[in-house]
Amino acid sequence: MADWGEFGFIEALRRRLPPASGALRIGVGDDASWWRPESGNGILTTTDMLVAGIHFDLSYTSAADLGYKSLAVNLSDLAAMGGRPACAYLSLALPAQLQKVWLDEYIAAFLQLAEAHNVQLAGGDTVAASELVISITLNGLVSEGNPVLRSGAEIGDDIYVSGSIGDSFLGLQLLQERIAGSVLDSSKIAFLQARHLRPSPRVGLGCQLAASGRVSAMLDISDGMVADLGHLLAASGGLGAELDRAKIPLSQAALKLVTAGHLDCRDLLTGGEDYELLFTANPDARAEIAEIAISAEVAVTRIGRITDEKTILMLVNGVTEELSGRRGYDHFHD
């Protein structure tokens, strides 16, 4: 299977599948599927599988953190389509040595986040296994109008991101003790670690952006900002982008680490697991998007624009760099 990476398998499968048809409007390939079987706006569905030791490390991820995050990443996928989450299905493969208290804490945190987003746990399965595997499926509704796909960006559109970029990557480096946090006070360390362990799915923002009808393309950042921008550009027909590094939103904690020379700012843009929304819109929608950001109480920053150059360029201290080929961006030309 070495030659069938995660991406390769999905791509191979997509090529084999007939195109989505009938009531299934969007199948494999976006953040969620869109199924419109009856009257109404239809059902969005996303699914995700997590394996211990690959997607999470139990040495620094508590049961409660995992219960939260395993649902949060699915909420983020629905948010990226503008979906309002509704019903979750949780299947767990549980190793025999797992303690009941671990499972209790996992479920409690899962249900707490579910309740905060009006999600009901509607089904699931538990099985014995030699390693911990978590599989979650989430059904939601298209809040209003059509969902926002990753394929609608147009030349000249503005590019936006929510929140701040790179915190999750830094939090992970701190948890893994790969970088020293000595320049940070303990609250900033806790902030970065929480951004990795407890990302905030931008559900309200995603729903309001979709409902506005002004967003041309959207996805959530899981593979890294540059890689996911590449996916959006590829899905939109092979477009390009120009970014301004000075505009990319960094948290105070991230800025402090970059300023102290602990790492290159560009690592933050490829780190992944931000679970922020990356989206595009026509420049005439700027005022409306600013209003939505205020209403959703999430920072939204314009970081660049869509071009027809088939590459991602970034303006850094007055010099334009080409980002294509950086880690996480390999699939852009697939």
Binding a second copy by CB under 8 A: which of 58, 61, 103, 211? 103
Is 160 in contact with 300 (CB distance < 8 Å)? Answer: yes
By beta-carbon proximity to a second copy, the closer residue of 162 and 222 is 222
Alpha-carbon distance of 274 to 80, in angstroms, equals 13
Give, as ranges, the residues between 108 and 147 that touch a second copy (CB under 8 A): 111, 120-131, 133, 135, 137, 139, 141
Is 112 in contact with 150 (CB distance < 8 Å)? Answer: no
Question: Per rule CB under 8 A, is residue 101 in the interface with a second copy?
Answer: no
What residue type is 306 in one-letter code?
Answer: I
Alpha-carbon distance of 229 to 100, in angstroms, equals 41
Binding a second copy by CB under 8 A: which of 58, 61, 62, 94? 94
Distance between start and end Cα atoms, the chain: 19
Question: Per rule CB under 8 A, is residue 4 in the interface with a second copy?
Answer: yes
Q: What is the C-alpha radius of gyration for the chain, rounded to an integer number of angstroms?
A: 20
Question: Per rule CB under 8 A, is residue 95 in the interface with a second copy?
Answer: yes
Question: Per rule CB under 8 A, is residue 331 in the interface with a second copy?
Answer: no
Q: How many residues at the interface with a second copy, by CB under 8 A? A: 69
CB atoms within 10 A of CB 113: 19
What's the full length of the chain, in residues? 334
Listed ranges 5-13, 151-159, 268-276, 317-325: which one lies at the site for a second copy (CB under 8 A): 5-13
Binding a second copy by CB under 8 A: which of 107, 183, 211, 255? 107
Is 110 in contact with 78 (CB distance < 8 Å)? Answer: no
Give, as ranges, the residues between 53 and 92 that touch a second copy (CB under 8 A): 54-55, 86-87, 89, 91-92
By beta-carbon proximity to a second copy, the closer residue of 24 and 179 is 24
Is 189 in contact with 174 (CB distance < 8 Å)? Answer: yes
Alpha-carbon distance of 92 to 136, in angstroms, equals 9
**Contact residues for a second copy, defined by CB under 8 A:** 1-4, 6, 9-10, 13, 16-18, 20-24, 27-28, 32-33, 35, 37-41, 43, 45-51, 54-55, 86-87, 89, 91-100, 103, 107, 111, 120-131, 133, 135, 137, 139, 141
